[in-house]
Structure 1
Amino acid sequence: MSSSNIKDPIRIVITGAAGQIAYSLIHQICNGDVFGKDQSVILHLLDITPMMTMLQGLVMEIEDTSLPLVKGVVPTDSEETAFKDVDVALFVGAMPRKEGMERKDLLSANVKIFKSQGTALEKFAKKSVKVLVVGNPANTNCYILAHYAPSIPRESFTCLTRLDHNRAKAQIATRLKVSPDTVKNIMIWGNHSSTQFPDVRSGTVTVNGKETPIYEAVKDDNWIKNEFVSIVQKRGAAVIAARKLSSAMSAAKAICDHMRDWWQGTKDNEWVSMGVISDGSYDIEKGLVFSYPVQIKDNKISIVQGLKLDEWSREMIEKTQKELVEEKNDALKATSSD
């Protein structure tokens, strides 16, 4: 593509930019795989002060990829510099859970980070900014971030459950020995945690050229309700146990999938999973950051309505909602004691 057809750059901030997820993510963004092959970018890379030398090395690598869409790279430990005039904010960094750490300890550490970054987002970012929170606990971190950036529209805040969505697709595809792209309209409800509910009730899969409901194709209710759900819920922990590090390549791919669909739209009659601020759909508490099946058109995210849920599905959804309400209340308590 000639340089005359390249669009003016968008500014993208990546937090935790010296980490391993960002390392897998940056090339895909700079290469045009996410925002389009005609969309130039300026990267704002935020990390803590001790990581600045490592960030400089990352900047050298970005320069050495020699990609024409990259119009600038700003490495920084300053929130003002990082969030200034950004169009897209990818919150990859968070305080990770360490051995022996209670959930409430993790929450209170992250509340401080996301309160500070939410305040900076409110003050310095464009009001049209698109926000994706990846760092865990992602739903509750996103809730706190939104809480401290009240003038940015609520529909601009999302958290990542696309990795769980992709994991669920892969499990069905592996089980049926088909390609993952033939699996459609599965969904992740709720929290990006071990209570999430991967739901295939409305999903289909193409086997031998014929689109079939997943339940019919799998022909094993017991596997779907037990082993499948459990594998998807615990997949992150299984990766850590095997790799001694958390998911990075697959997380980066999921971030790209999430943002590309938000930027360019979903296919007709297909949906994906995103954590969004609940509008009360499916009796979920309004304001909670909850993963729903969504469709996207013209950058607008809409929760898929009217899906049938049996009693078991409702119980699963209620369980993950209960955990999220507790997390939200704990996080709000931590902000007030700050």
Structure 2
Amino acid sequence: MLEPIKVVVTGAAGQIAYSLLYQIGKGDVFGQDQPIIMHLLDIPAMMGVLEGVVMEMMDCALPLVRGIVPTADPAVGFGDVEAAFLVGAMPRKEGMERKDLLAANVKIFKVQGQALDKYAKKTVKVLVVGNPANTNALICAKYAPSIPKENFTAMTRLDQNRAQAQIAARLGVGIESVRNVLIWGNHSSTQYPDARHALVKKGAEEVKVTDALPDTAWLQDQFVTTVQKRGAAVIAARKMSSAMSAAKAAGDHMRDWWLGTSDGSFVSMGVISDGSYNAPSDVVFSFPVSIKNKQWTIVQGLAIDDFSRGKIEQTGQELVEERQEALAVCED
């Protein structure tokens, strides 16, 4: 059995964490042989609720959970952690635009970046879930200068999972039969879900989704808008933002980062941009990545058509604007 690792989840009394903590404790994220010490961080007002969450985690009797530390103190919460799920943020409510979230939430992630810099392991893997996730991750990295920027990522896996599910449903196949669906850019309504490089297994062979589904109009219109607006659709129906699916995606993202991707397969992650595919540099941009030894690499050489190029440019421009607004808020 391996030595236990310390993992922090912020917003630990909230809805996303309620689904996420069980996945982590059960071994679905870091592996079935990896013991965990769980640091559950939330604001002081939520400590009573968090006490109930701790009781439930204990009552799950999960063999891999070697300790649970509920706290409102960032020094304790981020102390020596090797993985961080930054979930806690002001949630988006019905009728809110993402930019309404930015001013409030970016300050939270400035403080958390400073705390990670001071207390976490320098090898910590940080996943930002709280929205606007891409720009929050950028700010978090900026205020944690002793930790490599590559260690800060934003979650676009929920969008990838949504897109993969839409393709599988359209083709009438199981979700496991579809791979390499991509999300480019921002976790927002400008994101670009791209099925042009995706593959689907039909019987014994694997074919391109665009060959199995030669419906360009659907792939460029309804598919894209359904994925882009799925979060808002969930809020409209549920009166609350996505929680169960967001937790599943957070677990998927960290599992692949921790354990790696298989040869020929890639996943979507918001990572610091180096300008690949003419995306703007120095923003956190969702690219296709492959992962080995806990290190992600942007997949290069994918053909980009004019439709895709326009979508990548649009979402990149939004991220540049968000960066400008976020930096202005942080410097106030």
Indicate the TM-score class for this superposition, using the shorter chain for normalisation.
Answer: over 0.9
Matched, 1:220 2:192: no
* 1:16 counterpart (11, 28, 38): 11
SS at match of 2:289: strand
Q: Does 1:88 align with 2:88?
A: no
Mean Cα deviation higher: 239-248 or 319-328? 239-248
TM-score between the two structures when normalised by the length of structure 1? 0.96
CA distance in 2, matches of 1:28, 1:66: 13
Q: 2:274 aligns with which of 255, 276, 279?
A: 279
Letter in 2 for 1:193: S
The equivalent residue for 1:27 is 22
Is residue 123 from structure 1 mapped to residue 118 from structure 2 by the alignment? yes
* AA matched with 1:80: A
> What do residues 247-278 of structure 1 show as CA deviations (whole Å, max 9, x unaligned)?
11111111111111111110110101000001
Query: Following superposition of structure 1 onto structure 2, how do residues 237-316 of structure 1 map, counting pairs within 5 Å?
Result: 237-316=232-311
Contact 2:93–2:235 (Cα < 8 Å) also in 1:
no
Instruction: Compute the displacement of 1:201 (Å).
Output: 1.0
Q: Which one-letter code corresponds to 1:325 in the other structure?
A: V
Map of 1:100-139 to 2, 5 A cutoff? 103-139=98-134
Instruction: Give 1:118 deviation, angstroms.
Output: 0.7
1:163 corresponds to 2:158? yes
One of 322, 329, 336 as aligned partner of 2:317: 322
Please report the TM-score for the alignment, with normalisation by the length of structure 2: 0.98
Q: Are positions 1:331 and 2:323 aligned together?
A: no
Opposite residue 248 of structure 1, the aligned amino acid is A
Residues 166 and 102 from structure 1, CA distance in 2 versus in 1: closer, same or farther, beyond 3 angstroms? closer
SS in structure 2 at match of 1:228: helix
Structure 1 segments unaligned to the other structure (5+ residues) = 1-5
Please tell me whether the aligned partners of residues 5 and 82 of structure 2 are also in contact (alpha carbons under 8 angstroms): yes
Using the TM superposition, name which of 301-310 and 111-120 deviates more: 111-120
| Secondary structure in structure 1 of the residue aligned to 2:3 | strand
Q: Verify the 8 A CA contact 2:134 2:284 in the aligned structure 1.
A: yes
Whether contact under 8 Å (2:91, 2:241) holds in the other structure is no
Structure 2 residue 183 is the aligned partner of structure 1 residue 191: no
The DSSP-based 3-state class of the residue aligned with 2:200 is: strand
TM alignment of 1:228-243, pairs within 5 A:
228-243=223-238
Report how far residue 51 of structure 1 moved.
Answer: 0.4
Q: Could you list the per-position Cα deviations for residues 146-177 of structure 1 after superposition, in whole angstroms to 9, with x for gaps in the alignment?
A: 01001101111111000100110000000010
Once the two structures are TM-superposed, the CA of residue 302 in structure 1 deviates from its matched residue by 0.4
Contact in 1 for aligned 2:153/2:269 (Cα 8 Å): yes
* Cα-to-partner distance string for 1:40-99 (whole Å, 9 max, x where unaligned): 001111111110000011111111111111111111111111111110010011112346
CA distance in 2, matches of 1:28, 1:105: 31
Q: Is the 8 A contact 2:134 2:186 kept in 1?
A: yes
Cα distance in 1, alignment partners of residues 192 and 268 from structure 2: 11
One-letter amino acid matched to 2:283: L
Q: CA deviation at 1:102?
A: 5.6
The match for 1:71 is: 66
Letter in 1 for 2:205: K
CA distance in 2, matches of 1:294, 1:87: 21
Farther-moved stretch of structure 1 (249-258 vs 278-287) = 278-287
What is the total number of aligned residue pairs between the two structures? 332
1:272-298 C-alpha deviation (Å, 9 max, x unpaired): 100000122112222110000000011
Q: CA deviation at 1:210?
A: 2.4
What is the RMSD computed on CA atoms of the aligned residues?
Answer: 1.1
Is the alpha carbon distance of 1:9 and 1:231 closer, same or farther for their aligned partners in structure 2, counting shifts above 3 Å? same
